[in-house]
Amino acid sequence: MDKFDRFDINQGEIGNCWFLAALANLAENEECFRLVVPESQDFGSGYTGAFRFRFWRFGQWVEVVVDDRLPTRRGELIYIRSVDKNEFWSALLEKAYAKLHGSYKVLPSYIFSLIKCLYKYYNYLISQRPWRAG
């Protein structure tokens, strides 16, 4: 997950364009991106099949670990997918966010809580900056 770009993201079957917008904005700021998607996670040597993500929730960072198994139908990813067939950061991040909230099923209903959360999150990042990625 060394390369990321806001144009890599395509919406899947869930009506969560709000989540795509959040990911696109996250991908625009490498420092913020690395807070959520820690570096040195790829399919190279040392690959374990697990990926770690961090979310700012209820005033603290929560780490979520997911495996690399993504839901597919007829060989295509069902949910968020990348333009590049060999890039999975957005789909894995969506899976981690779904796990944090219980399942993919609840994602379409999180639009208003996500907007509120992102507003608080970015205000925190801008005003406090007590963190460093890593």
From first to last of its 134 residues, the chain has per-residue pLDDT tens of 445 555 567 677 666 677 778 888 888 888 888 889 888 787 777 788 899 999 988 888 999 999 999 988 888 888 888 878 888 888 999 999 999 988 877 776 655 566 666 666 666 666 665 555 54
Predicted pLDDT of residue 92: 92
AA letter at 31: E
Tell me which residue has tokens 């005033």: 59
Predicted pLDDT of residue 108: 65
Determine contact, residues 51/42, Cβ cutoff 8 Å.
no
Determine contact, residues 83/10, Cβ cutoff 8 Å.
yes
